Amino acid sequence: MNSIADAGAAAVLELRDVRFVRNGRVILDDIDFAVHPGEHWALIGPNGAGKSTILSLCGALQHPTAGEVFVLGHRIGRVELQRLRRSIGHVNPRHPLTSALSIRDVVLTGVTGTVELVPRWEPTTAELGRANDYVHLLGLDGKAEEPWTTLSQGERGRTLIARALMTDPELLLLDEPSTGLDVAAREQLLDTVDRVRIAHPALASVLVTHHLEELPRSTTHAMLLADGRITSIGRATDVLTTANITACFAHPIEIEHRRGRWHARSTAHDAPATSPAPAGR
């Protein structure tokens, strides 16, 4: 069994022997892991490894073909999903909003779980206060009235994290949150994720990425996936090693863990070139 468990706390999220098949193709097989309060997981693997499919199961957006998925103590397939999703904060950088809602209004849509503001709906004083608190926490002070259509990708990412926190979720899911960001915006976003995790010590989270450089310092656990199967799982510092990453990506990659962050470098061309043997006389 691949899962690691903390006997002292009930799992916020648990996948047991999960298999997922689409159009006759096996996308996931033998997926088994658990996430507990205060744990911050990274799902890492090549394109097509099944990371986003796992995240959709964690977010109660899909059902497994076989096996069991428990989210916040409820088994998927035996619970009203819409209510359950309100306790899950889902951050998707491809948020479909196209109108010019202000940052504050986008954050408030987290209360209703909608893309646009609901007609004739008015936030309570407490909800408005909480929205302002999250705008502050995520470093968006002074920009609360800025329209979505003029925001940078980094500002949108931080706005969506604030939106996801509005229902005080127990589980936060981040689907490649650094997509499309330059280096400075990426670092601002990762600092924001760390601040959120410090401010909410019981919050559990799962972050999907292709790149180790996109992992926040607060990452506690990691799961490596290849071809729909787990190749390594456990504490982040035990899993994110040169040997494990090289095996997962089927390419020689050297991993360095420095000042709480991970860095990856290909070593495919590191071997010194050999001089040709002298021609025989």
pLDDT at 248: 96
State residue 1's pLDDT score. Answer: 34
Distance of alpha carbon 149 from alpha carbon 138, whole angstroms = 19
Structural domain spans, the chain: 1-87+170-193+201-268, 97-168
- pLDDT of 272: 58
Q: What is the pLDDT of residue 279?
A: 58
pLDDT reported for residue 274: 54
| pTM of the predicted protein model | 0.87
CA–CA dist 176, 267 (Å, integer): 25
Strand partners, 184: none
Q: What angle in degrees, to the nearest 10, is found between the helix axes of 103-112 and 125-137? A: 120
Q: Dihedrals φ, ψ of 110, to 5°?
A: -65, -25
Query: What gap in Å lies between CA 213 and CA 255, rounded to an integer?
Result: 10
The DSSP symbol for 80 reads -
3-class state of residue 21 by DSSP = strand
Cβ contact 233:248 at 8 Å: no
Residue range 1-87+170-193+201-268 forms a domain whose CATH class is alpha beta
What is the C-alpha to C-alpha distance for residues 126 and 193, in angstroms, rounded to an integer?
24
Residue 2: what pLDDT? 41
- Digit-by-digit pLDDT tens for the chain (281 residues) are 344 444 456 899 999 999 999 999 999 999 999 999 999 999 999 999 999 999 999 998 889 999 999 999 899 888 777 778 778 998 988 889 999 999 999 999 999 888 999 999 999 999 999 999 999 988 898 899 999 999 998 999 999 999 999 988 999 999 988 888 899 989 999 998 999 999 999 999 999 998 999 999 999 999 999 999 999 999 999 999 999 999 999 999 999 999 999 999 998 877 555 555 555 54
Q: How confident is the model at residue 71, as a pLDDT? A: 92
Please name the helix (run of DSSP H) or strand (run of DSSP E) that holds residue 108, with its range, or none: helix 103-112
CA atoms of 193 and 164, how far apart (whole Å): 12
Distance CA 93, CA 212 (A): 18
